[in-house]
Amino acid sequence: MNYEIKLPLFEGPFDLLLFFIERDELDIYDIPIFKVTTDFLGYIKSMEALNVDLASEFILVAAKLMSIKAKMLLPRPEMDEKGNEIDPRDELVKHLLEYKKYKSVIADLALLEKERLAKETRGNVKEELKEMALINNVESELQNLDLFKLYKVFEKVIQKFELEQNKPIHKVVQYPYSLDAVKEDIIALSKTNTSTSFVDLFKDNHDKIFIIFNFLAILELLQMEKISISVGEGFNNFWILPFSAPVEE
């Protein structure tokens, strides 16, 4: 039996985000960042499972969503100059609204372009035919050819070749970590040890991305009430503990 998997194709990451928002009838001004991030990463994993090359824009927006998610989990929100709380989602909402506005007129512009291409330019037919004859007259071109013109053509070709050779190449590196796997490791560690220092998590792996994954995982586990933490003096370190419900006085 043959199994056929079909995934919707999107023109860009914002197109995908708008699809999730419209599909689930979400408020674009109050986006549930946890759900949207989960759906976005799930789509990326599905594409990776099919060995489909993802554009760097998708990876960039995924990182931005995780950054917003981390900021919303932090207990201390950012404040502006007037003391008002800054919503980490504001910039994302602004980009989505701009994209939605331009997307709404794409169909109309495509129709206008199609109608314009179907029209013929009016003009003097005899003069146009003469110009076409001169353009296609090889002997006339050779008569006006000189060394300077050949040099200019050669120079343009060399410049174009150098631009192609020096064109920047963007390479997206997939890190060998996942948030779910790191969370499972931390939960298992909290069950086997009475307390674990945050610094001790990186004795064997000093990769900056690995540290970030662990920190995000701890924030999520705290919110999910899977673990507890104890902060040391000077706030230079903290310890991961098994979860214990707060004692009511």
Angle between helices 208-223 and 179-192 (to 10 degrees): 70
CA dist., res. 195 & res. 239, Å (int):
6
Three-class secondary structure of residue 231 per DSSP: strand
What's the number of domains the chain is made of? 2
Give the position of tokens 């000189």.
146
Q: Is residue 171 part of a domain?
A: no
| Structural domain ending residue among the three candidates 37, 69, 103 | 103
Q: Is residue 66 part of a domain?
A: yes
Q: Is residue 117 part of a domain?
A: no
CA dist., res. 180 & res. 226, Å (int):
13
Nearest to 89 by CA among 144, 134, 34, 162: 34
Instruction: Classify 225 in phi/psi space as left (phi over 0), alpha (psi -120 to 50) or beta.
Output: left
The residue count for the chain: 249
| Structural domain ending residue among the three candidates 88, 103, 118 | 103
Tokens of 237: 């370190």
Q: Is residue 118 part of a domain?
A: no
**Which pLDDT does position 246 carry in this prediction?**
57
Q: CATH number of the domain that 228 lies in?
A: 1.10.10.580
Nearest to 230 by CA among 214, 220, 242: 242
Q: What is the mean pLDDT of each run of 10 residues along the chain (249 residues)?
A: 48 80 82 85 77 69 82 74 78 84 80 80 70 63 67 85 82 80 87 82 82 88 86 72 65
Contact 241, 194 (CB under 8 A): yes
| Structural domain ending residue among the three candidates 71, 103, 135 | 103
* Sheet containing strand 238-242, strands side by side: 196-197, 238-242, 227-231
Q: How many CA atoms lie within 13 A of 1 on its CB side?
A: 1
How many other CB atoms sit within 10 Å of the CB of residue 20?
A: 18
CA dist., res. 42 & res. 65, Å (int):
13
Contact 33, 89 (CB under 8 A): yes
> What are 197's strand-pairing partners?
239
Q: Is residue 189 part of a domain?
A: yes
Q: Is residue 2 part of a domain?
A: no
- What global pTM score does this model have? 0.37
- What is the span of the domain harbouring residue 213? 179-242
Q: Is residue 154 part of a domain?
A: no
**DSSP codes of every residue in 43-106:** HHHHHHHTTPPPPHHHHHHHHHHHHHHHHHHSSS--B-TTSPBPPTTHHHHHHHHHHHHHHHHH
